[in-house]
Amino acid sequence: MEIRENFSLKAYNTFGIEAKAKLFSDVNSLEQLKEVYANYPNEKKLPLGGGSNLLLTKNFDGIVAKLNLLGKEILKEDENYVWLKIGAGEIWHEFVVWAVANGWSGVENMSLIPGSIGAAPMQNIGAYGTELKDIFTSLEAWLPEENTVETFNNSTCDFGYRSSVFKTQLKGKAIILNVTFKLSKHPNLNTSYGSIEDELAIMNISSPTILDISNAVIRIRQSKLPNPAEIGNAGSFFKNPLVSSEIANKLLEKYPNAPNYEVGEGLSKVPAGWLIETAGWKGRTFDDRFGIHKKQALVLVNYQNASGQEIFDLSENIIEDIEYKFGIRLEREVNII
């Protein structure tokens, strides 16, 4: 196992931020992962997946373990379902493509979400009316402090909106090794969310398959979201805030057409993108190097050679402005290093 020093992480984060790791190692197995932790006990550790939900604001003074834990396995199947065990280092969208090609349903609405399999349960990824928890069975994670591999089910993962136990109590204390999904052989198509039905109509499809749903979602995402290979970004930078009914009603008094969705327990979800756009941030650029995407206010972008600190400061300004104008405080979805 090779350890590299003063290693550039620019190609390992989708923002394309230039930051260096004091030490860096590719990790291809649990044994190599354990070796990194055993051989460098006094160094800070950063387990790194696809780097798609990460903002590096400075160099990392420690060792980065790039998790290349691969593998796709059919654990079992019956006439209705198939159970799939997928390595944490596999690319999420490539897994979706594989599942759809085999006729296994449940992930098609989450096509083209960037990142790795291991990152998916950390924040309970979701799109177009589907969340990871809907198809999740279990995962295995290594806990370095105990040096044990533990199995987590849906309950023990404590999934919430873009959250899980791995972002709360176990943040920095567990490394996901693999994830097991339960997909259906008899698709129950979900076309009612967002503009999927409109996109299918444009595609002239009246009786869609899961492949059609996946293609429609891909077309929608490509039309609205910048490709990280072309413009540095980490997808949605902010969570959609959950607010009290009182705050939601005050918002509607001032903005009668403001979108908000009741989620129960006296709470409503307000689209962060609407708040940011209404506040006048959408499409703004700074020194032609970074800013807010012109088509999607939720996405902060690095056009050319911005620093992570500059993008973080921009996010801080947006958070403060939204709180001042609407009385709602946004929360970052992206992990800050």
Q: Which fold has domain 4-67?
A: 3.30.43
Q: Which residue has the higher pLDDT, 162 or 63?
A: 63
Residue for token digits 């088509």? 295
Report the pLDDT averaged over residues 253-260. Answer: 90
Q: 232-336 belongs to which CATH class? A: alpha beta
Whether residue 31 contacts residue 72, with contact meaning beta carbons closer than 8 Å, is answered with no
| Domain spans of the chain, in order of start | 4-67, 72-202, 232-336
- pTM listed for this prediction: 0.88
The number of angstroms, rounded, from the C-alpha of 294 to the middle of its chain's C-alpha atoms is 21
188 exposed, middle or buried (CB, 10 Å; 0-12, 13-18, 19+)?
exposed
Give me the sign of the Cα torsion angle 95, 180, 182, 128. negative
Give the integer Cα–Cα distance in Å for 56 and 54. 6
List of residues 6+ apart from 76 with CB closer than 8 A: 82, 83
Residue for token digits 């996010």? 315
Whether residue 233 contacts residue 301, with contact meaning beta carbons closer than 8 Å, is answered with yes
pLDDT reported for residue 229: 87
Q: Which residue has the higher pLDDT, 192 or 7?
A: 7
Report the pLDDT averaged over residues 78-104. Answer: 97
Domain 72-202 has CATH 3.50.50.60: no
Catalytic amino acids? 162, 236, 333
pLDDT reported for residue 37: 96
Q: Which two tokens stand for residue 249?
A: 């009603």
Whether residue 215 contacts residue 157, with contact meaning beta carbons closer than 8 Å, is answered with no
Give pLDDT tens digits for 150-206: 999 999 999 988 889 999 999 999 999 999 999 999 998 989 877 899 999 999 999
Phi, psi at residue 236, to the nearest 5°?
-65, 120
Give the integer Cα–Cα distance in Å for 45 and 80. 42
pLDDT reported for residue 264: 80
Provide the percentage of residues in the chain whose pLDDT is more than 90: 87
Whether the predicted pLDDT of 82 surpasses 90: yes
User: Is there a shared CATH topology between the 72-202 domain and the 232-336 domain?
Assistant: no
